[in-house]
Amino acid sequence: MSTAPEVALDILNTFLNTPFKAPCPASGSNPWPEDIQSFLDTSVQEMSEIGKTKSGNNTDAADSPCFICSLAKSRDQKEFTPVDIMPGASMKILRETPTSAIVRFKAGSLEPAHHHTFGHDLVVTSGSKCVWNLTKGEKYELGVGDYLFTPAGDVHRVKYFEDTEFFIKWDGHWDIFLDEDLAAANAAIEKEKQK
């Protein structure tokens, strides 16, 4: 919060444009050990293959050697439960405490303004959406890889531009309190478009 936006941008640009390769001062200007270099060269490609067999299909859950493989398989299973209060939504609970889930929304879906008694973190894994935090008067357009934290009690509205999936985590029991209906939400978004 104490970093000026221009400074933060310079820091980010420097970080993104600095090759993650040895030699570098942090390693005493010596090359990485062979095992570390091998990891850096191959890990990104290998991560995309987690949960797949040589034929490209997902492994069976019983054959999955780790949690990540199991999660990769569960994303393709159809064990999602409709979220009746939010048309176009379905959810798969991954953990009960702290609670985490994968949530899917169909393109064009809209979450009317609502709030929860808990704060929640989410990461978009596919698709895109827009979140209005009405309590703070802020708007966030989120795509793949974007993260957002919404504090407990903050009223927020969400519009999905395309089929979207995200990982969400929260503490406490699931609850939701609607602060407007679908018609009011659509009217608010249309009004914003006309500005």
Q: What is the pLDDT of residues 82-106, one digit of tens each?
A: 888 888 999 888 887 778 899 999 9
Strand 129-133 and strand 138-142: the pairing is antiparallel
What is the structure's pLDDT at 75?
52
DSSP 152: T
Q: How far is CA 115 from the centre of its chain?
A: 19
Enumerate residues 6+ apart whose C-beta is below 8 A from 89: 82, 83, 103, 104, 105, 106, 109, 111
How high does pLDDT run on average in the chain? 82
Predicted model pTM: 0.60
Average pLDDT over residues 5-33: 78
Average pLDDT over residues 51-66: 52
Cis peptide before 23 (omega within 30 of 0): yes
Tell me the per-residue pLDDT of 105-162, one tens digit each, with 9 for 90 and over. 999 999 999 999 999 999 999 999 999 999 999 999 999 999 999 999 999 999 999 9
Which part of the chain is CATH 2.60.120.10?
Answer: 79-193
What is the structure's pLDDT at 64?
47
**Is 79-193 in CATH node 2.60.120.10?**
yes
DSSP 143: -
Secondary structure (3-state) at 125: strand
